[in-house]
Amino acid sequence: MSYNIAIDGPAGAGKSTIARAAAKEMNLIYVDTGAMYRAMTLFMIREGIDLQDTEAIIKKCREADITIRYQDGVQVVFLNGENVNAYLRTEEVGHAASSYVSVIPQVREKLRELQKRLAAESDCIMDGRDIGTCVLPHADRKIYLTASSEVRAKRRYDELTAKGEACDLKKIQEDIEERDYQDMHREISPLKQAEDAVLLDTSGMAVEEVVARVLSICQPTPLDHCSRE
């Protein structure tokens, strides 16, 4: 059996950054489920689908082939054969993914199947909003990674300005808080901390500190190996 780590938490908590770094240190596959939802959203936007038309999204999502492969140690998300990594981190795609696409049960089921298959086939770290509660309820380790909305907004602001993108800190924080509410109150797979997850608030921590803490929580023990034999 494979060794799986589930990392959940709200938007902007640094899940991808931390999971990617921890995966590298532990020589595990990193599965960014948020990128998969963003890829689906990008597909809808490119196809001109009304993002408030649920039936249209359900019908169209069948045409989207979303896969994850590694090239030179880097996770690459492919949408119908195209590497779309460069288009997944815009505010438009992120907001639409959270507000419209990810809340649709049929879309979640389509992507969940791939996520479960990846976890069954490989030792991996998977991050998202419902990994420990829905996708990998029996994961070997679970972490709920969070930070205050102010801290998360400032991190996102710094990330965007470093890329030369014009943005408004207040608007980013408002968007993050709106996403939090939507994620926590959606009917399907709401964001919440799994009962057996370790809560890790990173508000006052540097990335290196968070990675070190995650590694200390997630290193396999002899007991893990015995339970999988």
DSSP strand pairing (82-83 vs 74-79): antiparallel
Encode burial over 115-149: b for 16+ CB neighbours within 10 A, e otherwise: beebbeeebbbbbbbbbbbbbbeebbbbbbbbbeb
Whether the per-residue pLDDT at 86 is higher than 70: the answer is yes
Range list of β-strands (E), the chain: 4-8, 29-32, 66-71, 74-79, 82-83, 124-128, 141-146, 198-201
Whether the per-residue pLDDT at 3 is higher than 60: the answer is yes
Average pLDDT of the residues of the chain: 90
The pLDDT value recorded for residue 38 is: 94
Decide: 11 and 180 in contact? Cβ < 8 Å: yes
pLDDT digits (tens, 9 = 90+) for 165-209: 889 999 999 999 998 998 898 887 889 999 999 999 999 899 999
Q: How confident is the model at residue 94 (pLDDT cuts 50, 70, 90)?
A: confident
Q: What is the C-alpha to C-alpha distance for residues 146 and 179, in angstroms, rounded to an integer?
A: 14
Q: Is 169 helix (H, G, I), strand (E, B) or coil?
A: helix
Decide: 141 and 217 in contact? Cβ < 8 Å: yes
- What are the chain's domains? 4-219 (3.40.50.300)
The pLDDT value recorded for residue 228 is: 52
For the whole model, what pTM was predicted? 0.80
Whether the per-residue pLDDT at 221 is higher than 80: the answer is no
What percent of the chain stands above pLDDT 90?
Answer: 63
Q: Any idea what DSSP says for residue 197?
A: P
Q: Which of 12-26, 38-52, 83-97, 215-229 has the lowest mean pLDDT?
A: 215-229
Q: Is 183 helix (H, G, I), strand (E, B) or coil?
A: helix
